[in-house]
A and B are shown apart, each in its own frame.
Chain A
Amino acid sequence: MTDPVIHLDHVSKRFRIPLDRSNSLKYRLTHPRTTSRYRTLSAVDDVSFAVDRGEFVGIIGHNGSGKSTLLKILARIYFVSEGTMHVNGLVSPFLELGVGFNPELTARENVFLGGAVLGLTRRFLTRKFDEIIEFAELEQFADQKLKNFSSGMQVRLAFSLAIQSYADILLMDEVLAVGDARFQSKCFDVFARYKREGKTIILVTHDLGAVSQYCDRVILMDHGKLIADGEPQNVITEYKRRIGELGNIDNGSPLAEEEHLESTSSTYSIQHVLLTTQDNVRPNMTFFTDAPFEVHVHVGNTGATSPDIACRLALSRLDGTLLATSDFDGRAHTFTAPERGGSVHLVYALPELPLLEGSYSLSVDLFDPMTSDVYDSLTDTATFHVLDEHQRSGMMSMPGSWSLRSLSPTPPTQPTHV
């Protein structure tokens, strides 16, 4: 057992927010004796945890819960007010992509500047330059000023530069909030590579789908306090429970509206939901239009006796628009319910996913096919991304085809005037 790479011991961070606008020299000079009045805000309050090498830790919590402050403490951007922090290893010194980029400079110049901020030397970057530009798909734009780039191009450049950073511990704040689905899937490929390389990753995000699929462990923050720390599913459930209790506090994320139905009659429960491609058992987040898409639902029984259960899936856009449900002929497919204490593994297979490029979310309902009583319901339980190789426009793939029905060799020469 090695020592933890990050160790936080009763760490607190307090900000003093001035109550009056006394923070000018004039006020200080004219009121030398009055101490300025402040309201103290505990952004992080008595937090302790340790992270081992190679762990992929997610930090979740609603807006203002202190998760970003915690990340800034880890990055040494903020100094702790109380407690101690030990970090053993090289921490990536950036929280966002493209820090240090200047719009007035060319892509080439920005690679050297942004690279220096990441701690990369000019010699290293010169050697890697072609690789960076190629990965960002910007070969023709290397000497164009950054201000002429689209935001997508800027993000690609920033990302392909950031992955050259050789830190042991990577801190990421909402990287997934920027960029399109293609970029997000690139992010996850790199995360997977980092994981294989044994790097430690700390990710702050609202994307519970990403958290449950990639993190080994999740930390839940609320009002500056560490509320839960452990298995992703357990912590996410706790997070959902709290949000359910407290009402919809976080209107910044559609995922926050998730609510685990916990009525007393729900004795069949959805244990977890995984998305995969057809021949891949590994959980996936990114799929391709017209390619196989499978949903695996694990259902457990804690004491129900109903003979049958049914499951319904609903696909929606992230803005909440419902796109499709899995009901066939308006009726759900019925399965024999699992034994008490047992579980079943249901698979819904879609051989050709009709969704075009974008991000979508999946909801799962578990109910009694006879009475339609809902046993368990997971709203927006997984967010996934779809890429379309043909870059078609719209929301859905249209599998129809054109054909020529009748051939008229000479078109009417003159329009008929009446």
Chain B
Amino acid sequence: MTAALTQSKRNINLILELSITQFKLKYAGSILGYMWSLIKPLMIFATMYIIFAKMFHMGKGTPDFPFQLLVAIVIWNFFGDTTGQTMNAIVANGSLVQKTYFPRWILVIATTISSLMTFVINMILVLIVGMFLHTIHPGWQSLLVPFFCFEIYLFAIGLSLFLSALYVQFRDVGHVWEWFSQLLFYGSAVVYPITFIPNHVAQTIIAINPITQVIEDVRYSIVTQSIEPLNHLLGSLYIVPYVFVAISILVGAFVFSRLSSQFAEHL
């Protein structure tokens, strides 16, 4: 009993130290340092805003579309950063894996922590900005936002476990994922409102993806209640995104635990 407690205390301690180190190294040698993690979503937002809102008029008829776009970019940025960086978690820490023993999932979790912190800070900043611009219309449903944030975090962890374990043996995964996350970016309702898709089948396919679900639900919860909530759109299919998240965690954990015993040999 006490041994188990000590072990989990050691694991938490190791996660903290590893994530602090990664955080320090990530911003070492840059003048703006941590500011970059706040500036980057803004820059992506500016680009997407000019292209999709100004040139293609995609948000027409959607209230406060620029702010909705900003919220979506912050959420997407968290998901993309986490999966992209964490895929490398085992390989990048090869010497640790080959020379010490600790549960390998610690590396995956530790790598997600700094993106998670950035995400939380970004969300809070977005809320503050939204309050100043009066683009936030909070209600009881706003209390669900932390839940949605946690949901996308779980989705990212599930995928990261899967990807990082495969990446040890198959570096091809890196290239495939690069392409696939592009596809996910455009296949999730990030740069357009879900109602922009005219075809009902296509709309449903896009809507059952957990990233779309989280983005649309967060938009609905804090930005405006005048858009159609996703559960109306999907009906009984509204459960599907959650099923995807659950599958990603289960499959990710299974694959990771099967392969993790051989990481040291394959590195």
Q: Which residues of A contact B (CB under 8 A)?
A: 15, 23-26, 72, 75-79, 91, 93-96, 99-100, 102, 104-105, 109, 112-113, 115-117, 119-122
Residue in A93, A100, A109, A116 with the greatest tally of chain B CB atoms within 10 Å? A116
How long is the Cα–Cα vector from A26 to B176 in the complex, in angstroms? Answer: 12
A165: min CB distance to chain B, Å: 11
> Which residue in B100, B169, B173 is a CB contact (below 8 Å) of A93?
B100
Query: Nearest Cβ in chain B — how far from A58, in angstroms?
Result: 20
Inter-chain CA distance A122–B16, complex, in Å, is 10
Partner among B24, B96, B169 whose Cβ is within 8 Å of the Cβ of A100: B96
Q: Is B170 an interface residue (CB 8 A)?
A: yes
In the complex, B231 has a CB within 8 A of chain A: no
Q: Please, how many angstroms separate the alpha-carbon atoms of A96 and B101 in the complex? A: 12
Q: How far is the CA of A91 from the CA of B28 in the complex (A)?
A: 34
A115 to B264, CA, bound (A): 21
Residues of chain B lying within 8 A (CB to CB) of residue A116: 13-14, 16-18
Q: Are B170 and A25 in contact (CB under 8 A)?
A: yes
> Which A residues are CB-close (under 8 A) to B264?
72, 77-78
Give the interface size bracket for B toward A: 20 to 34
- Is B141 part of the binding interface, using a Cβ–Cβ cutoff of 8 Å? no
7 contacts between A and B (CB under 8 A): A75-B101, A77-B101, A94-B100, A95-B99, A99-B99, A102-B21, A116-B17
Q: What distance in Å separates the Cβ of A315 from its nearest Cβ neighbour in chain B?
A: 36
| Cα A119 to Cα B97 with chains together (Å) | 15
Q: Nearest Cβ in chain B — how far from A135, in angstroms?
A: 21
B17 touching A102 by the CB < 8 A rule?
A: no
- Look across to chain A and name the residue whose beta carbon is closest to the beta carbon of B172: A25
Which 5 A-B pairs give the minimum distances between C-beta atoms?
Answer: A116-B17, A25-B172, A79-B261, A76-B101, A99-B99
A155 to chain B, nearest CB (A): 15
Report A98 CB to chain B, min CB distance, Å.
10
A93 to B11, alpha carbons, bound, how many Å? Answer: 13
Q: Give the interface centre of B17, B25, B170, B264 by most chain A CB atoms within 10 Å.
A: B17
Q: Which residue of B lies closest to A118 (CB)?
A: B100
Most buried by A among B14, B18, B25, B170: B14
Is B182 an interface position by the 8 A CB rule?
no
List 4 additional A-B contacts (Cβ < 8 Å) besides A77-B101, A99-B99, A113-B17: A77-B100, A99-B100, A105-B21, A109-B21
Cβ of B98 within 8 Å of any chain A Cβ, yes or no, is yes
